[in-house]
Amino acid sequence: MKIFLDTASLREIEELRGFIDGVTTNPTLVAKEGRPFLELVEEICRLVEGPVSAEVTALDTAGMLAQARQLARLADNLVVKIPATWEGLAAVRELSGQGIPTNVTLVFSPTQALLAAKAGASYVSPFVGRIDDRAGDGMELVAEILEIYRNYGFDTQVIVASVRHIRHVVEAALLGAHIATMPYQVAKKLLDHPLTDLGLERFLADWKGVPPAHRPW
Ligand code: G3P
């Protein structure tokens, strides 16, 4: 499973650059950075080798297409993020015909994901955390989307999004999701573990008990 960082922070991307396969952003994350949008996205695309999703803000198909073309000109690894609306999917159909990759976002139902795949989306982003926040089951949605895509041989990739904790990442991987995108704080926890730190501390303390003459370093 690929690991994407869900952020627009260059500092966070820089720190985890060697460990991540791509980046997803959204208008909320971009707003936090206080930078001109296109300039920021272009920098992120330069920093990351894999796909970088940047979202349109227009609500009508023509407006989305105009913004999508502007975004797509920024870099070869740019993926246009488009909401799961009728207007959005009309834009996805058009962009997919032109070879511009798309990520259909704000996906909360299997039928939205089915229509997104039929429109030619490269990626779909089910928001598992926001579903769980409302006492739903975000992972159940991911499982259903994956099964539907398998049934019909769609090559649209599933990005498990709105990840809140590392259990979401484990469950996404167990289900065979293609990608999980997560905030920096969650990505850090994929490796950090207090028992690893404690164990290392103890090993190094015990190592001091080996006489200096017996230690090669
Ligand atoms: O980028 C889309 C998604 O990951 C947002 O997550 O935490 O705002 O629900 P969240």
Taking only the tens place, the pLDDT of each residue in 52-109 is: 999 999 999 999 999 999 999 999 999 999 999 999 999 999 999 999 999 999 999 9
CB 125 within 8 A of CB 141: no
Output the CA 128–ligand 1 centroid distance in Å. 9
Q: Could you report the per-residue pLDDT of 14-67, keeping only the tens digit for each? A: 999 999 999 999 999 999 999 999 999 999 999 999 999 999 999 999 999 999
Output the CA 129–ligand 1 centroid distance in Å. 8
Mutate to test the pocket of ligand 1, among 3, 12, 23, 130 (most ligand atoms within 8 A of CB): 130
Q: Would you state the structure tokens that stand for residue 160, as one six-digit string?
A: 């498990």
Q: Is the CB of 129 under 6 A from ligand 1?
A: yes
Is 3.30.870.10 the CATH classification of the domain at 2-192?
no
pTM: 0.96
CA 130 vs CA 16, 62, 63, 127: distances in Å: 25, 29, 27, 6
- Average pLDDT for residues 160-171, to the nearest whole number? 98
